[in-house]
Structure 1
């Protein structure tokens, strides 16, 4: 329950900030061009509003709705979510949206998307300034990677070190790595000291989506964190900090060791030998010990999982001014990666992966972490900007599309057409929202 509340709070805080910034972009451009904004609402407020106030001598009422699915600004003289068609039947006023030149209306409509994108760039820059950039170089991961079954089916093997995709070297683990792999013809890996090529099928992403399991993860060494007195490990002379690299002469990583010991426990009988030969590294020097486990194949050690100590980590520090171009680059690359993966949304498996608020909430950490909170907020801001600029009626991109048509054709679409387009767009969006959250329900119960 505590985990749910922490994630829910992060989700609400993040979405609230993004909605305020997005609608603030529309609001500021509208006020810049002396267009009246009748209402600024965080969240939607059908039937009633939780809180509202209207400052003295202000044309705008500010409020908080009860339905946390977004927010809106009601701009006078515009066909929007409010579907206020009665206002559109009245004589046009100079302070209305419809009375402004097309280029001003265009800037008002893209204001939200622009502000969301700028917010993401600012957050990324401040993250780099405050925390720097920390990552594990893929080519220097000492034990390589563990791969899922889909990856193994096309030729990857546990322990492979990822080198390059179509000749372009890998740098770090993340979305860019996965995009490079699924778009490549072949991936080079280092296997047992030799470079091997793995050929990538054209439907690689569809296979991964159907698998629904992470493509790969780092293999961590089994580094001893603590030892129980009197147990086999202690009697054999093992010490905290020792890294177990081999079990009975076979190279082994953390999860391999745990799985092997569990399998031996299940298969054990009275005639089964419980003698183990362990190779370990201490202060850079390898050595071997023999020990006999108890009947449960426990040797009396606890492993360390502090990844920043187990894997070679590169950390880049940024000054305030250096963080800005680096943050812009990170934001632009994030947007490119997200756009490149959008095509998979329209596949059968991609549609199944579409998620609603449950999925969005799950990307936040279970414990409060400001770094992760801001990183995910920046990512969601990128997504919100991109999704809103899609040329779909009821979204900002739909209004932009009709405004571009007006500029090119030198005539406006009729109000009746705009009303119908708005209704169609809202129907599509609500259908998408229902489908995404229905997927969340299916994943929760099944």
Structure 2
């Protein structure tokens, strides 16, 4: 059932983005009197699941869910319709329209993507508001749980102060900035320390997560909450799920990292402990095996509700009226757009190793949760809409950005590239695009098989 829910969200989001992107081309094309021969959701290689001709346009659904397309008359695109291009230009064809009209038609898709993302972010702000933890409330600092953070110089208990000179205000909201930051200032034992992030930090972080996929970049220091008892654990019966450890071997322990550290020094011993169970303190004897483990799983991250219930952190809430949600949503969309641009820059900078984390359809599929959440669905859809818009603007001939590049050349120089040149450019762009698609999805397959 979980896979069905994930797949449903994935296909619904993908379908929505594809249809609206193609409508972005379709509407200005029709407004300028350009004939649109096909409008398809998904690709109809050899056959279509459904198609119906209305007027001059065949609308349909293909069987290959790798995208969608509109076929515009008189345009050199992925259809490579050479026969049509060999005929004299007709007034309803794309090639017969002024350059400025053709430019608007080509920019229509990405324009819709960006507008859609901003509208979704406005809706999210208005409907759900904001839940966050102020960095100033994180008085106990961070919990370092992965090797990459340790290698970069972070230590458990460090308090984030600033990233590239900008003060950290929202604790979890600083994750992306931390990933792409160069100079991080932390407070450690009352002193300020400056950490310079390694150029290949993202590469190191991915390798760290290969060893433990649950490791997080930023973790709050939280109490040791028992999340489960492992099969064959020597402490079956002594501990129960949701127990909170408050004392171990006579020492008070406030955080999970303190328990983990202490247990390593108690190998092969049976020690007294105190846990909080149903709001009551219960004394138990715990056995630690020769490997320094108790045979229990503990929570590595708690939700906002649990954090408030335990009284360890204050959760801040912001609610927005409709008018307030507009600038808030625009700000979120702008930040996402800038952030994604920075991520692309890192991907195309080999020494960062960020290209190794590029993923294809499986990576997108994995973004969606296993339980249906409209908030998560819309947040992911807005992000994917921005990604689709930015990627389509890349100056690759097979993408909208490639067509825009040639149109701008025509408008500036006054010379239109020949149809033969555009045909060859389209072929070259197609093979380059396929190489990128194979690389991204190849990464997915490699991680699935070997990681």
1:283-334 CA deviation, whole Å, 9 max, x = no partner? 9xxx999753368897999979443331321111111121112111101110
Residues 1:34 and 2:33 aligned together: yes
Provide the secondary structure at the position in 2 that maps to 1:437: helix
**Among 102, 120, 123, the residue aligned to 1:123:** 120
| Separation in structure 1 between the aligned mates of residue 315 and residue 130 of structure 2, nearest angstrom | 10
Residues 1:316 and 2:299 aligned together: no
**Among 433, 437, 448, the residue aligned to 1:433:** 437
| Separation in structure 2 between the aligned mates of residue 300 and residue 336 of structure 1, nearest angstrom | 42
* Contact 1:41–1:65, Cα closer than 8 Å, also in 2: yes
> Could you tell me how far 1:102 is from its partner in structure 2?
0.5
The aligned counterpart of 2:162 is 164
Structure 1: unaligned runs, 5 residues or longer:
235-239
The aligned counterpart of 2:93 is 96
| Separation in structure 1 between the aligned mates of residue 315 and residue 20 of structure 2, nearest angstrom | 35
* Contact 2:117–2:382, Cα closer than 8 Å, also in 1: yes
1:365-401 CA deviation, whole Å, 9 max, x = no partner? 1211111111000000000000001111110000000
> Aligned ranges for residues 30-429 of structure 1 at < 5 Å?
30-55=29-54, 58-147=55-144, 148-173=146-171, 176-180=174-178, 182-185=180-183, 187-212=184-209, 214-222=216-224, 244=246, 248-249=250-251, 251-254=253-256, 257=259, 263=264, 267-268=267-268, 272-276=269-273, 292-293=285-286, 305-310=302-307, 311-346=313-348, 347=350, 349-429=353-433
> Could you tell me how far 1:218 is from its partner in structure 2?
2.3
* Contact 2:245–2:253, Cα closer than 8 Å, also in 1: no
* Contact 2:164–2:181, Cα closer than 8 Å, also in 1: no
| Separation in structure 2 between the aligned mates of residue 350 and residue 181 of structure 1, nearest angstrom | 11
Provide the secondary structure at the position in 2 that maps to 1:80: coil
| Separation in structure 2 between the aligned mates of residue 345 and residue 300 of structure 1, nearest angstrom | 39
| Separation in structure 1 between the aligned mates of residue 423 and residue 38 of structure 2, nearest angstrom | 20
Query: Which segment is superposed worse, 387-396 or 291-300?
Result: 291-300
> Could you tell me how far 1:429 is from its partner in structure 2?
1.1
| Separation in structure 2 between the aligned mates of residue 250 and residue 198 of structure 1, nearest angstrom | 31
* Distance of aligned partners of 1:15 and 1:203 in 2 relative to their CA distance in 1, 3 Å threshold: same
Query: Which segment is superposed worse, 18-27 or 318-327?
Result: 318-327
| Separation in structure 1 between the aligned mates of residue 105 and residue 22 of structure 2, nearest angstrom | 10
* Distance of aligned partners of 1:249 and 1:218 in 2 relative to their CA distance in 1, 3 Å threshold: same
Structure 2: unaligned runs, 5 residues or longer:
210-214, 229-236, 308-312
* Contact 1:245–1:253, Cα closer than 8 Å, also in 2: no
The aligned counterpart of 2:24 is 25
| Separation in structure 1 between the aligned mates of residue 295 and residue 67 of structure 2, nearest angstrom | 54
Provide the secondary structure at the position in 2 that maps to 1:355: coil
| Separation in structure 1 between the aligned mates of residue 155 and residue 404 of structure 2, nearest angstrom | 49
| Separation in structure 2 between the aligned mates of residue 243 and residue 406 of structure 1, nearest angstrom | 70
| Separation in structure 1 between the aligned mates of residue 342 and residue 376 of structure 2, nearest angstrom | 23
1:193-239 CA deviation, whole Å, 9 max, x = no partner? 4433333344434443554464332222236899xxxx7789xxxxx
| Separation in structure 2 between the aligned mates of residue 182 and residue 76 of structure 1, nearest angstrom | 44
* Contact 2:179–2:202, Cα closer than 8 Å, also in 1: no
> Could you tell me how far 1:62 is from its partner in structure 2?
0.3
**What is the RMSD computed on CA atoms of the aligned residues?**
3.3
| Separation in structure 2 between the aligned mates of residue 138 and residue 201 of structure 1, nearest angstrom | 24
**Among 411, 432, 449, the residue aligned to 1:445:** 449
Question: How many residues of Structure 1 are paired with residues of Structure 2 in the alignment?
Answer: 425
1:25-68 CA deviation, whole Å, 9 max, x = no partner? 0001111111111110000111111100123xx11110000110
Provide the secondary structure at the position in 2 that maps to 1:41: strand
* Contact 2:163–2:177, Cα closer than 8 Å, also in 1: no
* Contact 2:172–2:218, Cα closer than 8 Å, also in 1: no
> Could you tell me how far 1:254 is from its partner in structure 2?
3.1
* Distance of aligned partners of 1:78 and 1:142 in 2 relative to their CA distance in 1, 3 Å threshold: same
* Contact 1:7–1:365, Cα closer than 8 Å, also in 2: yes
| Separation in structure 2 between the aligned mates of residue 81 and residue 301 of structure 1, nearest angstrom | 52
> Could you tell me how far 1:174 is from its partner in structure 2?
5.0
> Could you tell me how far 1:250 is from its partner in structure 2?
6.4
Provide the secondary structure at the position in 2 that maps to 1:372: helix
* Contact 1:247–1:279, Cα closer than 8 Å, also in 2: no
